[in-house]
Amino acid sequence: MVKVKKIISGVLAVNCYLIYDSETKKALVADPGEDGGKIISEIEKENLLPEMLVNTHGHFDHILSDEQIRNKYNIPLAVHKGDAAMITDPSQNGSYAFFEREFSIKEPDITLSDNQTVELSFTKFKVMHTPGHTEGGICLLFDGFALTGDTLFAGTIGRTDFPNSDHKKMLDSLEKLKKLNPKTVVYPGHGSITTIANELRHNPFLKSKECG
C-alpha cells in the first residue's frame, strides 16, 4: 500500500513528502527543503529505502538539502528540464536574494518532460508540466493524489512575480489541473492538504481562467 508522509522543512515551511510502500519500504523523496537532517531522521524512523529524489521546481527553499539526501542514499535527482539549470545557479534559484549567499547543487541525474511516466519499483507517477511559478514547475500525478509543488495551494496559487515566472502560463497550468478527477487529493508545496473538488469550489484562481 502506497502511503504519503508530510514533513515541514525549513524557515519557509516547505512540505517535503515521502511517498512509500508500507510493505517493501521503498520510497520517493519529494522537495526535501532545508532541513536535510530532519528528513533523514524521518526516513530512518520509518525504515524507508529511497529510490529517487525529485524537485517540483528549482527554488532554493525546495532544493537546499538535495545534495545531502542524494549522497546519503546514492539516489538520482529528477527535475524538469526547464528548471535543470536553475538549481545550479544562485541567481536563478533565489538563494542569493534570500540568504545573501550563493547556493547551488549539481546538475540533476534525470531531466523530466511533460506527460512522462516515471516507473519506480513500488509505484509510478506521471509528470504534468505546470509552468508559471517557474518555467520548469511540475506536478506529480499518482493514483488518487497529486503533488502540486508551488503551482496550486489550498485556497490560492504560487507567486508569479519572480523574474522567471509567468502569470499567463500559470493560469494555463491551472486549467490542466482543473481537469483532474475532483476526488484527487492535493499535496501542495506549502500549507494544508486539500482536494481538486475543494479548490474548484473555493479557490478563486480555479473558478475562472480570467481570475487573478
pLDDT digits (tens, 9 = 90+) for 42-71: 999 999 999 999 999 999 999 999 999 999
Q: Give the gyration radius of the chain's Cα atoms.
A: 16
Domain architecture of the chain: domains with CATH: 2-207 (3.60.15.10)
Helices (H), the chain: 36-45, 60-63, 66-73, 90-93, 95-99, 167-178, 196-202, 204-207
Place of cell 508500507: 22
Give per-residue pLDDT as tens, 155-211.
999 999 988 899 999 999 999 999 999 999 999 999 999 999 999 999 999 874 433
Do 80 and 99 form a contact (C-beta atoms < 8 A)?
Answer: no
Q: Tell me what pLDDT residue 210 has.
A: 39
Which region, left, alpha or beta, applies to residue 188 given φ > 0 means left and ψ of -120 to 50 means alpha?
beta
Q: Report the phi/psi class of residue 164: left, alpha or beta, with left for phi > 0 and alpha for psi in -120 to 50.
A: alpha
pTM of the model: 0.95
pLDDT at 95: 73
